[in-house]
Amino acid sequence: MEKAAETAKEPELLLDVRELRTYFHTFKGIVKAVDGVSFSLKKGKILGMVGESGCGKSVTGFSILRLIDPPGRIESGEIIFEGEPLLEKPEKEMEKIRGNKISMIFQDPMTSLNPVYTIKKQICETLELHRGLTGVDAHNRAVELLRLVGIPSPEERILYYPHQFSGGMRQRVIIAISLATSPSLIIADEPTTALDVTVQAQLIKRLYGLVRESDRSMILISHNLSLVSGVSDNIIVMYCGRVIEKGPSENVVFNPAHPYTIGLIDSIPKMTGQRKMLKQISGMVPNPLDMPEGCAFRPRCAQAQRICEKEFPALREISAGHFVSCHFAGRTDR
């Protein structure tokens, strides 16, 4: 009895990604863009995915929707969404999930809308395809969606073309489209990177509100750790196609354990307090075609030792729910 009550309180698992591997087979060799990524997301939670360009965070997002084109291929792994394995579904069924149960918000608001159609047409298309709404019903729902994302006088604006909107407004339209079918999961890939800070603040707050109100889940992909830490329940830090640290937001931000996460946080200039010389991570991200043996961060790591060259460090739990992939992190004897 008691156990049943407990499980009811605990939000159920929405998405479970296990050992996902997505490789790109280029002429120069195999690029392991995502190499054994595992994480899970509960209903109503927001997961932040952080890392620098090329770390595989976007490819992970695309892989969940199976939007990987050749030369890329999902090699192995499992993606369980609402209890069903997505990687085993035929393409026809995937089409019913994309944009319907899982929707995606892309980075560039200038290119992700079709310039030759009004936004009414673009919102109604989604509504018709996935919800079977047409005519006045679709129109009314579209207006409602635009109001929801904070576009002023939506009745008029719905007939506008994308070029008549500013960048921030376009991104609102895209959010409206992504919400059109009440998806249970939204994957937002750098949704505010192309926007100014004041607009970014508005949009993130709006997106956060919309996700929280209706008990949806979101994966927020961004290179901006500060931004992600402001909204996420959990954070995943990626480096060279692998998860190197994951855990509750506060743990990752205030008690980072992986040398890369620590370096990343130290290299962000601060907005308050004494100015200090920025600690930098020396060197640069290795060539994806020529990954070092063992730990991928080893060539840039100050604490690297023999074992780091040979053995890839597996994720270890250093405190409740806080996992780190480093031989030495959290050890007192280092």
The CB-of-211 to other proteins minimum distance in angstroms stands at 12
Write down the least CB distance from residue 181 to other proteins, Å.
Answer: 26
User: Apex CA 38: angle with CA 35 and CA 40, to 5°?
Assistant: 150
Q: CB-wise, 241 or 263, nearer to other proteins?
A: 263
- Pick between residue 98 and residue 212 the one whose CB is nearest to other proteins: 212
How many other CB atoms are there within 10 angstroms of residue 116's CB atom?
8
Sole residue written with tokens 């004897």: 333
Question: How far is residue 24's CA from residue 299's CA, in Å, rounded to a whole number?
Answer: 24
Min dist. Cβ of residue 252 to other proteins (A): 9
CA distances from 288 to 26, 66, 70, 243, 308 (A): 11, 22, 17, 16, 18
Give least dist CB 241 to other proteins, A: 16
* Of 96 and 270, CB closest to other proteins: 270
Nearer to other proteins, 187 or 252 (CB): 252
State how far the alpha carbon of 25 is from the alpha carbons of 37, 83, 118, 236, in Å. 19, 30, 39, 26
Closest listed residue to residue 106, CA positions, set 139, 140, 58, 74: 58
**Residue (15 or 227) nearer to other proteins, CB:** 227
Q: Which CA distances in Å does 109 have to 166, 192, 301? A: 9, 9, 37
Question: Looking at beta carbons only, is 171 or 181 nearer to other proteins?
Answer: 171
Please say which residue, 94 or 291, places its beta carbon nearer to other proteins.
291
Q: Closer to other proteins by CB, 5 or 197: give it.
A: 197
Closest separation in Å from C-beta 15 to other proteins: 23
Q: What are the residues binding other proteins (CB under 8 A)?
A: 52-53, 166, 168-169, 196-202, 204-205, 208, 223-227, 229-231, 249-250, 253-254, 263-272, 275, 277-282, 284-285
| Residue with smaller CB distance to other proteins, 130 or 300 | 300
